[in-house]
Structure formats: C-alpha cells, structure tokens
Amino acid sequence: MAEPSYLRETRTSYDTVAVDYAELVPPAFEADLLGRSMLGAFAELVQGAGGGPVADVGCGPGHVTAHLRSLGLTAFGVDLSPGMVEVARRDHPGLRFDVGTMTALESADGTLGGIVAWYSIIHTPPEVLPTVFAEFHRVLAPGGHLLLGFHVGDE
C-alpha cells in the first residue's frame, strides 16, 4: 500500500526545518505558562492513575518529552520526521525517541499510561482522525489519559 501523500509531505517539511524548528519552538514553549500547566496537570493525572509509560506523539525536537520526564513521567517521543528525531536525540540524549506514525504506534495494546499529542494532529486530514484516535485508544491502558493540543483556523 502506498504511503499517503500527507505523511510524505509532512515528513519532508519537518525534515527540512528540523534544526531551525528546534531553535524557535522550545523557547516559545518555555514562555507558554498555560501549556506547561496543562502538561503538569496531565502528569498528575497519569501518576494518580498508576503511572506507566507516556508517549509524546509528534514529539518534534523533544522539548515536551523532556518536560514530561522532568515532571516524573517515563516519557518517550515518536515523530514522523527522522530529522526531528535526530535533533531530539542530539538535544536530549538520555531520552528515547523513535521514528513512527500516530496511525500505527509501535506499542502493545493497553500498555501506555498516557499519550500527549501536542499540536501534532494539525497535519492529519479530518477523515484520518478517527483512525488516529482509535490507535490512541488501542495503546492506552484502561484508565490511561490523553492530552490533545491543537489549533484551528488560518491565523
């Protein structure tokens, strides 16, 4: 089966900008008090439900994965872009980062205590979102948590 064009285009785009993206986005994240607070609440929910590994799906340069780890979670990152994964591994050598897609996560059924998809579904066509959410449901443990960040509009 041929790879969908949106995956190919997204991968190429992020591979092209990975180094620059890693310089621009993490400082903006550090200034995002609300976003970091939501991640903090998410970490407390996951820990309160018994913990378990957390996947940062669409992890980019790994700054959110590193933040999740700093909050006491066993976090790892997954990104479609090998360029982004390379930057994440460079900048956060003690953490695990894998190349993969949110439509086919390489985690066993019911094994994750949580999933963070922080602005990572924005390139997914609306008709593919049910597949993505079904995959999230498949890998989440009973009582696991999902934190989904996204935006809409053209601004």
Asked whether the predicted pLDDT for residue 15 surpasses 90, the reply is yes
Share the mean pLDDT of the chain: 95
Residues sharing a CB contact under 8 Å with residue 123, sequence separation 6 or more, in sequence order: 6, 9, 10
Is 12 domain-assigned?
Answer: yes
Q: What is the DSSP string of 30-57?
A: HT-HHHHHHHHHHHHHHHHTT---EEEE
pLDDT at 155: 64
Structure confidence by residue, pLDDT tens digits, 37-56: 999 999 999 999 999 999 99
Is 154 domain-assigned?
Answer: no
Paired strand residues for 93: none
Paired strand residues for 79: 99
Q: How far is CA 140 from CA 87, 137, 148, in A?
A: 27, 5, 14
Is 55 domain-assigned?
Answer: yes
Is 96 domain-assigned?
Answer: yes
Q: How far apart are CA 13 and CA 7, in angstroms?
A: 10
Is 155 domain-assigned?
Answer: no
Sorting pLDDT into bands at 50, 70 and 90, what band is 60?
Answer: very high
Domain with 112, as residue range(s), is 5-149
Structure confidence by residue, pLDDT tens digits, 75-85: 999 999 999 99
Is 110 domain-assigned?
Answer: yes
CATH code: domain of residue 71: 3.40.50.150
Question: How many domains, in total, are found in the chain?
Answer: 1
